Amino acid sequence: MQFHDLKLNDSLLRAVEKEGYTEPTPIQAQAIPYILDGKDVIGCAQTGTGKTAAFALPIIQRLSTNPRRRHIRVLVLSPTRELAAQIGTNFGAYARHTPLKHTVIFGGVGQQPQVQAIRRKVDILVATPGRLLDLMNQGIVHLDKVEVFVLDEADRMLDMGFIHDVKRVIKTLPTKCQTLLFSATMPQAIQELGQRILIDPVRVEVTPQASTVDNVVQSVFFVERNKKRNLLTHLLKDSAVERVLVFTRTKHRANNLCKQLSRARMQAEAIHGNKSQTARTRALANFRDGKTRILVATDIAARGLDVDAVTHVINFDLPNEPESYVHRIGRTARAGASGIAYSFCDIDERKYLKDIEKLIRQHIPVIENHPFVSDATAPEPTQLQSKPKQYRNTSGKKRRRGGRNRRRNSNRHPSSE
């Protein structure tokens, strides 16, 4: 299938070609026709599958049929500043041959430039919940004419405690509004939210929930906690580790690790919630441009960071929520490329490893021959129901590894568009 088979107009086809897209991803091929038809959609897909284009392209086409309206016609709600900025960049790229205007608003920076952009009239608003509610309360943002509402990374909204803010925003939307909900996983709370806000939705699910990226080669190192830094430095000396995301569990650990790597003459920058938005944007830009080889991050960066050619993800600390592991390793092996995910596991993290293996239904192979191997006995393999899959490690040797009718409220009815 090609993009022209999806009945996209010439301006979008030119934009897609400019971006280097050759053919639609599965989520795009399945979701775009339904969105063009004005249907509510639930999209369940892991990160790195092209979700933004799946909703942005048909939205731009629908708005382009009447581009002279100058009010907020589309609201895209995102859980993090980085993801919001990335979505805004994508809208700008896809709509480059149209008169449509967009802007992005989020906290952590001064609001005045954002206010000025809104007052210049935009068609598409990408926002994080906190800043959006602030500007709504000030009477600057009005959502009474929104035609399409997109809730992106819904499960992450839940994880970050934004679900109540999301519900407050939803209450202000028109009763007649196309709604698109995208999420990597579908916990009960998100399912219940979908039942409230979606009308006769089409469900598009291109991969099993919580599945890992097929092209990621995963492995785990058993190592004592006080030897993790030594192991990290050892692995980073490998020239094949070209662009690496290192995940820690805490902001303090991320900062300390950056300092330790700098002392070892390895350029690294940190990105986490205590960093100013300016510092986070600069660190991410340096990482994207190749000026910084190592980006140390907390889970704030596990979702929505769209960086090409990340060769490795290293879990310096295993996450205590197994779903976070899936999102972390999804930062590599994007757009069909391959990638490698290393995980360090000390004795206190063995329980986290078992939870991860249960979630992904496979064993993560253990690298036993490394200089800092733990003296602790390796745990018994997690009991899994599914048959382990074949995979190939970095040395090339084979090992084993394991739609219903919904209403937002009583007077909402389906869009006639």
Do 174 and 227 fall within a single domain?
Answer: no
Do 175 and 264 fall within a single domain?
Answer: no
Answer yes or no: is 398 within a domain.
no
Contact residues for 265 (Cβ-Cβ < 8 A; gap 6+): none
Q: How do residues 232-249 score in pLDDT, each as one tens digit?
A: 999 999 989 999 999 999
Do 93 and 192 fall within a single domain?
Answer: yes
Q: What is d(CA 144, CA 165) in angstroms, rounded to the nearest whole number?
A: 17
Q: How many CB atoms lie within 10 A of CB 389?
A: 12
Q: Which of 61-65, 67-71, 266-270 has the lowest mean pLDDT?
A: 67-71
Q: How many domains does the chain have?
A: 2
CA distances from 332 to 17, 43, 343, 345 (A): 23, 21, 14, 20
Q: What is the pLDDT, as a whole number, of residue 212?
A: 57
Amino acid at 59: I
Q: What is the pLDDT, as a whole number, of residue 200?
A: 95
Q: Which domain covers residue 373, as residue numbers?
A: 216-386
Binned at pLDDT 50, 70 and 90, residue 379 comes out as low
Q: Provide the residue count of the chain.
A: 417
Question: What global pTM score does this model have?
Answer: 0.68
Instruction: Give yes or no for residue 98 having a pLDDT over 90.
Output: yes
Do 149 and 232 fall within a single domain?
Answer: no
Answer yes or no: is 402 within a domain.
no
Do 110 and 196 fall within a single domain?
Answer: yes
Instruction: Give yes or no for residue 57 having a pLDDT over 60.
Output: yes
Q: What is d(CA 34, CA 40) in angstroms, rounded to the nearest whole number?
A: 8
Q: What is the pLDDT, as a whole number, of residue 125?
A: 98
Instruction: Give yes or no for residue 92 having a pLDDT over 50.
Output: yes
Q: What is the pLDDT, as a whole number, of residue 47?
A: 65
Q: Is 169 exposed, middle or buried (0-12, 13-18, 19+ CB in 10 A)?
A: buried
Share of the chain above pLDDT 90, in %: 58
Answer yes or no: is 393 within a domain.
no
Do 287 and 197 fall within a single domain?
Answer: no
Whichever domain contains 30, its CATH number is 3.40.50.300
Q: How do residues 221-231 score in pLDDT, each as one tens digit?
A: 999 999 999 99
* E strand segments, 251-365: 268-271, 294-297, 312-315, 339-345
Instruction: Look at residues 153, 178, 205 and tell me which one is the last residue of a structural domain.
Output: 205
Of 40 and 334, more confident:
40
Report DSSP state, residue 408. Answer: S
Do 138 and 226 fall within a single domain?
Answer: no
Q: How many CB atoms lie within 10 A of CB 396?
A: 6
Do 174 and 113 fall within a single domain?
Answer: yes
Instruction: Look at residues 205, 237, 271 and tell me which one is the last residue of a structural domain.
Output: 205
Do 272 and 197 fall within a single domain?
Answer: no
Helix count and strand count (H, E) for the chain? 14, 15
Instruction: Look at residues 154, 181, 205 and tell me which one is the last residue of a structural domain.
Output: 205
Mean residue pLDDT across the chain = 85
Instruction: Give yes or no for residue 25 having a pLDDT over 70.
Output: yes
Instruction: Give yes or no for residue 329 having a pLDDT over 80.
Output: yes
Q: What is d(CA 221, CA 197) in angstroms, rounded to the nearest whole number?
A: 44
Q: Is 297 exposed, middle or buried (0-12, 13-18, 19+ CB in 10 A)?
A: buried
Q: Which of 45-49, 97-101, 203-207 has the lowest mean pLDDT?
A: 45-49
Instruction: Give yes or no for residue 380 having a pLDDT over 60.
Output: no
Answer yes or no: is 362 within a domain.
yes
Q: How do residues 146-171 score in pLDDT, each as one tens digit?
A: 999 999 999 888 877 899 999 999 99
Q: What is d(CA 240, CA 213) in angstroms, rounded to the nearest whole number?
A: 20
Q: What is the pLDDT, as a whole number, of residue 316?
A: 97
Q: What is the pLDDT, as a whole number, of residue 108?
A: 84
Instruction: Give yes or no for residue 381 having a pLDDT over 90.
Output: no
Q: Is 251 exposed, middle or buried (0-12, 13-18, 19+ CB in 10 A)?
A: middle
